[in-house]
Amino acid sequence: MQYQSNAMNTQPLVSVIIPTYNRAHLIGETLNSVLAQTYQNWECIIVDDGSSDNTDEVVGAYVEKDSRFKYFHRPDEHLPGGNGARNYGFKMSSGDYIQWLDSDDFISPINLKLKVELAVIEKSDIVISKNTKLLTDFKDHFVIQKTLRPSNSITNKFYKEFIQSRNQILIGDPLIKSEVTKQLRFREKLIRGQDHDYLIRLFHQPLKISKIDNQLYFYRQTDNSITRKASSLSFRFANAQLKLNIEIQSKFCDDKDIVFEYDRKNKKLYKTYILANRPEFIFLHFNIFRKTFKLSYFEFLYFLALNIITKKGFDRMKIV
C-alpha cells in the first residue's frame, strides 16, 4: 500500500536517515517508530552497510508497504562503517530537515511533530530534545509531556559544555535543518567519537538551537555497539579515542578548560589500561601520557612502574 496525502506538500519534508548492519532482529522496531509518527511528511532512508543477515527481507517489507521508506546499499565510493552509510544516506535525501537515527534505537510518535513545529515557529536551525535508555521512562514521558518549551539560542557556554561532554546530545536526537549540515560529512576514517566530532563541527556555526524538555529519543547499547567494543579494551578503539582527544585539545588549545577536560579523559584512559593489566597501550603512547601528566621522562617512568606493580599511586599523579 502506497502512502498518499494532499496536505503533505504544505509541510517541511523530514529525511530520517538510518545506517544499519546486521540489525534485522532490531530494525523493525526502529522502522515502526518512524511509521508511527503523527507527523506524516517524512521519508526514511535506510542504508545497509553490508549485512549478512536477512536485513534485505525485513526492510524490503517496509518499502513494499510504504513508499516513504527507501532502501539502499552503501556503494564502494564510501568506506565501510556507519559514517560512510550516513554520508551516502544524506546524499540520497531530499528533506528540508534531517533526523539521524540508529537502527537499534527509536523515537516517540510525537518526535517529528514537536520538533518541526518548534523549528518553524522559532525559525530554529536545530531542535534538541531529551533522550533515555530506560524504556519505562520513555513510554511514560512521551504520552504525558506535549508542551513546547521556550527556545534558546546557542551560546558560547552551550558549545563549550558540549565539547567538554557535559551536554549529552546523541546523534539520533537533533532535528537539523538540511542547509546548515549540507557542507558537513561524517569523517569516514574515524572509528571512535565520530558523532561527537560531527556535532562539534555542526555547532561551531552561528546557529539558533531550540530545546524541548521531553524524552523523545530512546537508545540502547547492544552487544556489538561501538560503546561495548570500546569497553572491551580494544587498542583500535582506544587509539582512535586518544587521537581524537589530542586533536580536540589542539583545536581548542587557547581554552584551558577544554584542554583540562581532555587531559582528564586521557588520564582516565591511562588508569583504565593499567588496572586492566594492559600497560603495553601506555608504552605505545608513552610521550602523550607523559605530557598529559606534565611529568619529566624519569618521573613518569617511576609512576608508571609504581602503578603497574601496585595498581596504586594514581592520586599522587593527580588523576581525576
> In the prediction, which pLDDT does 232 show?
60
DSSP state of 8: G
CA distance 63 to 294: 57
Grid coordinates in use for 247?
Answer: 586533536
Which residues neighbour 45 within 8 Å (Cβ) at sequence distance 6 or greater? 15, 16, 17, 18, 70, 72, 89, 92, 93
Instruction: Write the CATH number of the domain with boundaries 8-218.
Output: 3.90.550.10
Q: Where do the domains of the chain lie?
A: 8-218, 233-317
> In the prediction, which pLDDT does 135 show?
66
> In the prediction, which pLDDT does 3 show?
39
Grid coordinates in use for 288?
Answer: 602523550
Partners of 128 in the beta sheet?
A: 211
β-strand pairing of 14-20 with 42-48: parallel
Residues of 264-300 as b/e, b for ≥16 C-beta within 10 angstroms? bbbbebbbebbeeeeeebbeebeebbbebbebeeeeb
pLDDT in tens for each of the 320 residues of the chain? 343 443 455 799 999 999 999 999 999 999 999 999 999 999 999 999 999 999 999 999 999 999 999 999 999 999 999 999 999 999 999 999 999 999 999 899 999 999 999 999 989 999 999 887 766 665 555 544 445 555 555 667 888 889 998 888 999 999 999 999 999 999 999 988 899 999 999 998 888 898 888 888 888 765 554 444 444 678 888 999 999 999 999 999 999 999 999 999 999 999 999 999 999 999 999 999 999 999 999 999 999 999 999 999 888 887 55
